Structure 1
């Protein structure tokens, strides 16, 4: 006997233009035991990783600023301040985030610490993000960063005071969810460990 609370009844590919957009029809078992037919569109773009680079002694963080079209069409100027991030593309989260950090910020990351993994928009997107923090030193800079031009990236690297970054969350200048989560994680760690 199948105890699954979900029975997929139909699956239709709507787009394979950039990533995969599918429409699923399914029956969902409700808490009272009855079944309800539902339909949802699901966007599968793979899983990703993000990292907040910080310097404990200087109390700074490395963030990036880049244009994001979805934010622009949602009544925002489009330039988002973010923690470095990228899709896994068949690499481990640790391997990918080291590569992305260097590509986007120009800093080579040694030790990274995974803090958690989270679904960022589970109502429509399959993506699970692996969150990391890592310390950096000025001598870790091996390039200018900025991303890959052939991927359409034009990334500005920002070194901000930690308190300044937190204030930018409060003012709305930092509006990226993953970045806010990482800044708040680091703030809690600083309070707990007395930095």
Structure 2
């Protein structure tokens, strides 16, 4: 079994970056890099009556650097010491301006296990037009510049099937919605 034999902190800011030395099962020592960005939650809210799902867009440095247009993403955020359920309710209000009630837990995934400690707890949640009680857009002090997008469930399915829903957590959530709630496309 491999083991970590040394850890060198390179940067400690919004995230923590480290260089690790691993002793591999055959005894060789290899260098690896680690992004420690904690635990997170993500939710795909959907409205049965209006047959829409809520997604968001926001400027992402890596996406901009690649020259790619903004991604459609599920509402998400770091736990920051809160419980997953508490945090996803806060993020839904902060980013989407919606009040969520029951959460449908899906999975706790490793989005990029080669380099990141992050695990993301995924949820589906229903909402209605009456649950849109805020403007959304993100926290003012976080400079997020979030735009809220309600997309028809048919358009969401079409993006999944065409391979144009490019954010991994959002793709997983949309696929789970299709599998768990096929009656939405009945």
What's the TM-score once normalised by structure 2's chain length? 0.93
CA shift, 1:135, in A, is 0.4
Instruction: Give the aligned partner of residue 116 of structure 1.
Output: 107
Asked whether the 8 Å contact 1:103–1:146 carries over to 2, the reply is yes
Structure 1 CA distance for aligned equivalents of residues 3 and 121 of structure 2: 29
Q: Deviations over 1:9-59 (max 9, x none)?
A: 211011113211001102021xxxx32211100000111000000112322
- What is the RMSD of the two structures over their aligned residues, measured on CA atoms? 1.7
Q: Among 92, 98, 122, which residue is 2:83 paired with?
A: 92
Q: Provide structure 2 residue ranges, at least 5 long, that are not aligned to the other structure.
A: none
Distance 1:160 1:193, change over 3 A: closer
Aligned to 1:44: 36
Larger C-alpha radius of gyration, 1 or 2? 1
State the aligned residue count: 186
Alpha-carbon distance between aligned partners in 2 of 1:194 and 1:162, rounded to the nearest angstrom: 8
Query: Aligned partners of 1:128 and 1:137: how far apart in 2?
Result: 29
Q: Report the Cα offset of residue 113 of structure 1.
A: 1.4
8 Å contact from structure 1 (residues 101, 107) kept in 2: yes
What residue is the counterpart of 1:8 in the other structure?
A: 4
Partner of 2:98: 107
Please tell me whether residue 186 in structure 1 is matched to residue 177 in structure 2: yes
Corresponding residue to 2:22 among 23, 26, 29: 26
* Deviation digits for residues 97-125 of structure 1 (CA, Å, limit 9, x no counterpart): 11001100000111111111100000101
Unpaired runs of 5+ residues, structure 1, are none
Given that 1:11 and 1:22 are in contact with CA atoms closer than 8 Å, whether structure 2 keeps it comes out as yes
Corresponding residue for residue 54 of structure 2: 62
| Structure 1 runs of 4+ with >3 Å offset | 169-173, 192-195
The answer to whether structure 1 residue 165 and structure 2 residue 126 are counterparts is no
Q: Is the CA contact (8 Å cut-off) linking 1:81 and 1:173 kept in structure 2? A: no
Q: Is the 8 A contact 1:21 1:43 kept in 2?
A: yes
